Chains A and B, each alone.
Chain A
Amino acid sequence: MDVEEKTGKAFYMAAFATTWVFAFAVYLLLTAGSGAVLGLWAGGELKLGILIAFVVAAASSSIFGKEVSGRMLNPLRWLRMLGYVCGGFFMEMAKANWDVAQRVLTGRIRPGIVRVETGMRTDTGLVMLANSITLTPGTLTVEVDPVARELFVHMLQVPEGMEARTSIEARELFVGYDCPAAIRRMAE
């Protein structure tokens, strides 16, 4: 966790501006196609969106701004994240879904909870890894240990021999693509 000074006027302004931009972007996304400004938006929607973004920023910048670290505001990281979600992670999800669909039909399962060493240094990385694990069928994050940076993962199919080991590497939860390494490149 970043131990920065997260008080004072400058931080408040930065948090407010970040929240405002996010709120306005989401509003723009949801009202796309409403009119002719830039081919997509109605003028009234834009004005209302600017106002609503101020209300949202005033109400939630103290919560939202605190969670946003400067590192994740870099648009390049967002592009990489999009590439990760649509590329390697999607293939991983497809393979795992097919596997789980077969297990639903055959009923051959070998469930269990294993301890996973993540090696993630930041909270963002840990959250992304935990979510990736949960979204991949067959693995489900049950508990997070934020101090030891470990996850407890429920697996639908524990491979032979894994149940004897005290802890495993995060990479072993994925079949082909090395998701933890990709997350480390993106978030850390």
Chain B
Amino acid sequence: MGVLLNILMVPAILVGLFFNTMGVLGILRFPDFYTRLHADTKATTFGSVFTSLAVILWAFKAWLASGHDGQFVNLAVHAGFAVVVLAVTNATGAHALARSAYRSGLKPKQAVVDRMDGVGASAVAVPESPEALPAAAIREEAS
């Protein structure tokens, strides 16, 4: 069993490292902010899923070897929890970064199409600053 887990662990680490490396290379190679976001938020999430999977497999192996010691259950659950939190916060974080960048006036470079050009301010009506809104409207927006 321990050998089988070792055999599964190595490809998980290698796949995780590969995608994380691609994320780093993407930051260096892509031309503008938006395209770099693609590389560093998404490729790293996917890579971290596999490195965490390796941690879970290792914890399972140690749990078996130690005669069912509870601390390894704890380790595996924490690693799994980290993946879930990472996936959710990476998606929302990437969206928040892209949204604030566009609102700050950063246009995508080399873009073949930009359907948000000009629409952003009017169709998705959000004022420049929170002070411009009455308090009730801010609560409405937040809810």
Chain B nearest CB from A166 CB (Å) reads 7
**B115 and A142 contacting across the interface, CB-CB below 8 Å:** no
What residues of A have a CB within 8 angstroms of the CB of B34 in the complex? 111, 140, 142, 154
| Residue of B whose beta carbon sits closest to that of A153 | B115
**Cβ of A57 < 8 Å from any Cβ of B?**
no
Q: Mark A13-44, 1 if CB is under 8 A from B, else 0.
A: 00000000000000001111111000010000
**B112 and A148 contacting across the interface, CB-CB below 8 Å:** no
What residues of A have a CB within 8 angstroms of the CB of B75 in the complex? 33
**Cβ of B94 < 8 Å from any Cβ of A?**
yes
Chain A nearest CB from B127 CB (Å) reads 15
Q: Interface-forming stretch among B5-13, B84-92, B130-138? A: B84-92
**B72 and A33 contacting across the interface, CB-CB below 8 Å:** yes
A interface majority secondary structure: mixed
**What separation, in Å, do the CA atoms of A104 and B20 have in the docked complex?**
12
**A30 and B37 contacting across the interface, CB-CB below 8 Å:** no
**B111 and A156 contacting across the interface, CB-CB below 8 Å:** no
What residues of B have a CB within 8 angstroms of the CB of A169 in the complex? none
**What separation, in Å, do the CA atoms of A115 and B114 have in the docked complex?**
9
Residues B80-115 near A (CB distance < 8 A): 81, 87-88, 90-92, 94-95, 98-99, 102, 108-115
**What separation, in Å, do the CA atoms of A134 and B29 have in the docked complex?**
20
Given known contacts A131-B92, A137-B43, A141-B95, is B22 in contact with A100 (CB within 8 Å)?
A: yes
Contact partner, A137, options B38, B71, B73, B74, Cβ 8 Å? B38
Residues A110-155 near B (CB distance < 8 A): 110-115, 130-131, 134-138, 140-145, 148, 152, 154
Chain A nearest CB from B75 CB (Å) reads 8
**Cβ of A94 < 8 Å from any Cβ of B?**
yes
What residues of A have a CB within 8 angstroms of the CB of B43 in the complex? 97, 100-101, 104, 137
**B39 and A100 contacting across the interface, CB-CB below 8 Å:** yes
| Residue of A whose beta carbon sits closest to that of B28 | A104
**What separation, in Å, do the CA atoms of A104 and B74 have in the docked complex?**
37
Contact partner, A112, options B30, B31, B45, B111, Cβ 8 Å? B111
**A97 and B102 contacting across the interface, CB-CB below 8 Å:** no
Contact partner, B29, options A94, A104, A110, A137, Cβ 8 Å? A104
Residues of B within 8 A of A (CB): 18-19, 22, 25-26, 29-32, 34-35, 37-39, 41-43, 45-46, 70-75, 77-78, 81, 87-88, 90-92, 94-95, 98-99, 102, 108-117, 119-120, 123-124, 143
15 of the cross-chain contacts (CB-CB < 8 Å) are A30-B78, A31-B74, A104-B43, A109-B30, A113-B115, A115-B119, A131-B88, A140-B34, A144-B124, A152-B120, A154-B34, A156-B35, A158-B113, A163-B113, A164-B113
